[in-house]
Amino acid sequence: MTGEDAATSAPLTETVVDASGLACPMPVIELAKAVERVPVGGRVRLLATDPAARVDVPVWCRMQRHRLHHHEQDATGRHCFLVERAH
C-alpha cells in the first residue's frame, strides 16, 4: 500500500462486546449481532467468561465464514476474541 492509499483508505472499525458473565449461547449471539452492525472488514472484539466460548466462537466463525484473528485467555479466565466480518 502506498502512502497515498493509506491516507485515503478508511480506518478499520473495531467494536467491543463485553459478554462477561453471560452463559452459552449468549456470547455468540451478542457476537453475531455486533458483526451484523460493522461493515465488511470491520472487527469485533468479544470479551467472554463462559468457558464454552473457547469452542463456540471459533466454530461460529468457521460456519459463518468470518475470520478469527486472535484468541487469548487472561489469568482470570476471561477470553478475548478478535473477529473480522468477511461478507
pLDDT score recorded for residue 13: 73
pLDDT score recorded for residue 71: 98
Q: What is the mean pLDDT of residues 46-67?
A: 98
Q: 3 pLDDT exceeds 80?
A: no
> Among residues 24, 32, 52, 68, which one is catalytic?
24
Predicted TM-score of the model (pTM): 0.86
Half-sphere exposure of 50 (CA within 13 A, CB side): 19
CATH no. for 12-84: 3.30.110.40
Cell numbers for 66: 468470518
Residue 48 CB neighbour total at 10 angstroms: 29
Tell me, yes or no, if 61 is annotated catalytic: no
